[in-house]
Amino acid sequence: MGKTKDTFQARPEQGLSHPETPFQDDEKDLSLRPKTLDEFLGQKAMKANLSVFIAAARERNESLDHLFLIGPPGLGKTTLAQVVARELGAEFKVTSAPALEKPKDLAGILTTVSEKTVFFIDEIHRLKPAIEEMLYIAMEDYELDWIIGAGPSARTIRIPIPPFTLVGATTKAGNVSSPLISRFGITCRFSFYEKEDMEAIVRRSAGILNVSVSDDGAALLASSSRGTPRVVNRLLRRMRDFAQVSGERVVTGRLVADGLRRLEIDSLGLEKHDREILRVIIERYGGGPVGAETLAISTGEAVDTLEDYYEPYLIQTGLLQRTPRGRMVTALAYEHLRMERSGNTGDKTASLFPSP
């Protein structure tokens, strides 16, 4: 089908995948990423502190202290690392911990960095011990330990590298070793975004995508996006599709409500699989407690995805609890799903979804 309205013409997309969530195909458009701290919306306290640290490093003409980013997927950790590099006027190098198989992989990157380079490692909790130990010396002394030869004739030499800034990002701070955490001078913890920040993100992204969004449409998108910029940008693109094909020139609240129903996203932003997780706990395990591995098998989901993507928002909204004995749903979950304690469903399922 050809383009029917110029209003919905998108900018060309560039590739950068995010394997940490099921929605990697929707984050390819780098044009939606903020370029500066001023464009980076939300996370106000964290951003205010970081702007001070960046300004101080620039005034001293030094590399920024190593930066540790913690938070659920989709909240902007990779984007913030890119913004920091741009604010510092520094080179940006990126990799992920699973891609670093051997110490020589890390050495190959660090020996090519220039002074003040921002080196971003995603999923840093998955670093292998040998690579992590090499990183300790690189972070503290800006040197690499390298073994030459083998057996009795083997010797260790230290290779100097330029001062750089390591930015480590993780969704599982508890899985990062204490020696590694202690070497980061700055820690930034991301939280889910407030609704007003999400609305601002919708308007900014709509402007970039050349899409007109009404106030009620932006508000409904913001409230149904799990407090996550990646999700709201994905939904905005889908609403753009619905509007274009239906001949609408504006993404209104009515159009968003209809689109969310078609995508099976309810009034709290829960998707079908979120509700399935809650239903499984209620119907098969009497509301819990149930262990993460058992729940993952019952829902056909990987444990990591369950813990990193689905559970944080369910816990944040008060629908799920993590206890020492396992996962338990709350009274609010029964109420939201219109289910009774016995596990029987009511007849008000339609009210889960947004109204026009």
Among 122, 266, 274, 308, the active-site one is 122
Q: How far is CA 26 from the centre of its chain?
A: 13
Q: Would you state the structure tokens that stand for residue 52, as one six-digit string?
A: 């001070």
Helix-, strand-, coil-residue percentages of the chain, each rounded to 5: 50, 15, 35
Last residue of a domain, one of 234, 262, 290: 262
Identify whether 24 is part of a domain: no
Q: Rounded distance, CA 197 to CA 342, Å?
A: 39
Among 171, 228, 252, 330, the active-site one is 171
In CATH, what number is assigned to the domain containing residue 161?
Answer: 3.40.50.300
- For the question of residue 78 being annotated catalytic, the response is yes
Task: Identify whether residues 255 and 296 lie together within a single domain.
Answer: no
pLDDT tens-digit series, residues 287-299: 999 999 999 999 9
Predicted local distance difference test score (pLDDT) of residue 158: 82
- For the question of residue 111 being annotated catalytic, the response is no
Q: Rounded distance, CA 84 to CA 54, Å?
A: 8
Q: Rounded distance, CA 212 to CA 222, Å?
A: 15
Last residue of a domain, one of 229, 262, 295: 262
Predicted local distance difference test score (pLDDT) of residue 287: 92
- For the question of residue 102 being annotated catalytic, the response is no
Predicted local distance difference test score (pLDDT) of residue 24: 37
Among 33, 93, 230, 275, the active-site one is 230
Going residue by residue through the chain, which has 356 residues, state the pLDDT in tens, using 9 for 90 and above. 443 333 333 333 333 333 333 333 344 445 789 999 999 999 999 999 999 999 999 999 999 999 999 999 999 999 999 999 999 999 999 999 999 998 889 999 999 999 999 999 999 999 999 999 999 999 999 998 877 766 666 677 788 999 999 999 999 988 999 999 999 999 999 999 999 999 999 999 999 999 999 999 999 999 999 999 999 999 999 999 999 999 999 999 999 999 999 999 998 899 999 999 999 999 999 999 999 999 999 998 899 889 888 998 999 899 999 999 999 999 999 999 988 876 455 444 445 666 65
Task: Identify whether residues 166 and 229 lie together within a single domain.
Answer: no
Identify whether 345 is part of a domain: yes
3-state secondary structure of 60: helix
Of 66, 71, 73, 58, which is closest to residue 18 (Cα–Cα)? 73
In the chain, the number of structural domains is: 3
In CATH, what number is assigned to the domain containing residue 282?
Answer: 1.10.10.10
Last residue of a domain, one of 189, 217, 251: 189
Of 203, 207, 166, which is closest to residue 187 (Cα–Cα)? 166
Predicted local distance difference test score (pLDDT) of residue 219: 96
Predicted local distance difference test score (pLDDT) of residue 7: 34
Predicted local distance difference test score (pLDDT) of residue 146: 77
Q: Three-state SS across 82-102?
A: HHHHHHHCCCEEEEEHHHCCC
Task: Identify whether residues 233 and 247 lie together within a single domain.
Answer: yes
Identify whether 172 is part of a domain: yes
CA dihedral 8, 14, 17, 18 (to 10 degrees): -60
Predicted local distance difference test score (pLDDT) of residue 8: 30
- For the question of residue 170 being annotated catalytic, the response is no
Among 77, 116, 183, 226, the active-site one is 77
Of 87, 89, 131, 129, which is closest to residue 109 (Cα–Cα)? 131
3-state secondary structure of 319: coil
Predicted local distance difference test score (pLDDT) of residue 154: 66
Among 21, 29, 33, 78, the active-site one is 78
Domain interval for residue 291: 272-352
- For the question of residue 171 being annotated catalytic, the response is yes
pLDDT tens-digit series, residues 104-148: 899 999 999 999 999 999 999 999 999 999 999 999 999 988 777
- Beta strands 250-251; 143-148: pairing state: unpaired
Task: Identify whether residues 76 and 182 lie together within a single domain.
Answer: yes
